[in-house]
Amino acid sequence: MPASAAPAPDRVVQLGDARHGKLAGNLGAFCRMLRRAGVPVDAARMALAQQALQWVGLARREDASAALEAVLVAREQDRAVFRELFDAFFRDPKLANKLLAQMLPRADGHAKGPKRRPRVSEALSPPKPPKPAQKEDAVDLDAAMTASQTARLKTADFNQLSASEYQLVERLVRDIPLPLPTVAARRTRGGMRGARIHWRRTFGAAAQCGGDIMALHRLQRRRQPLPLLVLVDVSGSMERYARLLLAFLHSATARTQVGSRGLAVRRDVFAFGAHLTDLNTAFHLSDTDAMLLVAGQAIDDFAGGTRLGASLAELRQHHWRRLVGRRTLVLLVSDGLDTGEPVQLATELSWLKRHTRQLLWLNPLLRFGGYEPIARGAAELHKAADGMLAVHNVTKLHELANAIARLLQHH
């Protein structure tokens, strides 16, 4: 082997220290804390993380953070959580002693630290001791779903949930129905009412009665749910709401009950942040978890800025055929904190209004009492929307169907 190809001695010593020192233990504790915060980390990613640290070294904190983030974070919505946990975990030089005591790092004393996300705060807290086993004759109840806990979660703001509560609420919202209003379709079916006679059925019934026409069967128009266009804001301020509302809309709009039959809803779903992202391929999947995985891979501007005007312009230029006449019901999920030009937003909202039936604004900021849309983007959206509805907790999602029906009947 040539001398030039031999590894440098200091490099060999550094790798040896990393393998036989405390790096593996510290990294394992950090990965366990990420899992507590809801970040999916398995053994394969932990092995890749150790290899990444061996390659980049520990001399620069920024390099180590970037290397770990590249191999441990698979979803865009987990990047901010990873960065907060990394800063909190490695800020203390005596962290190894805390890890040996199986205690995750936390700020000592009563001084208030920086405001963190609920997922980060829960991950940094010490693990709770296991609960004693229940007796055989005791009623088997899930502690996370007691009556008081369920009542609290129904009214809790999505942005204030811990990681475990967030996962529980995500399962709850998938069972919330959203029966959409129905309209008369162009296609007809046989019935006893209608302006046109159903001659085939009439003559078929007459043949069974010796050729005598006993009744005139009619053709009546079928009923079908309104076509749906969903626009979901995936900017940084909507981080905790976007995933829950996507899961809710995927399950609730898959089929709607019309009479005694369940009919598929025509729905077109887009995410918008810095630009527009088509999520229809993801929403065609029947499994909600699979849909969220595909949608997360498709959205490349998650937790960025919001440019609703530019996104609506892209919708008008490339996806205008998705609008069914003036029957489409638009559900726009956003907090209205737009960073684009208000003039462009007003123009695009005016076009959208002319080509749809109703534009409903689902606004999580209605959780604040006395909220007023005074931001420039929110003011334009408020003027164009036919109604503004709250979607910040489970109770409001339960009330959403009735609220939509009332608004459509009023307008």
Per residue in 76-98, pLDDT tens? Answer: 778 888 888 888 777 753 443 44
Range in 152-166, 235-249, 256-270, 308-322 with the lowest mean pLDDT: 256-270
List of E strands, 118-243: 182-191, 196-197, 218-225, 228-233
Res 235 pLDDT > 50: yes
Helical H runs in 256-375?
A: 280-283, 288-298, 308-318, 342-354
Cα–Cα dist 313/319, whole Å: 10
Residue 273, CA distances (Å) to 237, 311, 329 in order: 11, 8, 21
Average pLDDT value over all residues in the chain? 78
> Per residue in 12-62, pLDDT tens?
323 334 444 567 777 888 888 888 887 888 878 888 888 888 888 888 888
* Confidence tier at 293 by pLDDT (50, 70, 90): very high
Greater pLDDT, 97 or 319: 319
Which has the higher per-residue pLDDT, 111 or 382? 382
pLDDT of residue 198: 78
- Looking at 42-56, 66-80, 122-136, 204-218, which range is the least confident one? 122-136
Task: Give the residue from 332, 146, 112, 339 showing the smallest Cα distance to 241.
Answer: 332
**Crossing angle for the helix pair 288-298 and 239-252, nearest 10 degrees?**
130
Asked if the model's pLDDT at residue 128 lies above 60, the reply is no
| Predicted pLDDT at 111 | 42
DSSP string computed for 249-262: HHHHTSEEEETTEE
Short-list 307, 352, 303, 301, CA closest to 330: 352
State the pLDDT confidence band at 127, using cuts at 50, 70 and 90: low
- Judged against a pLDDT cut of 60, whether residue 363 lies above it is answered with yes
**Taking the complete model, does pTM exceed 0.95, yes or no?**
no
Residues 276/311, Cβ–Cβ less than 8 Å: yes
Q: What is the CA radius of gyration of the chain?
A: 28
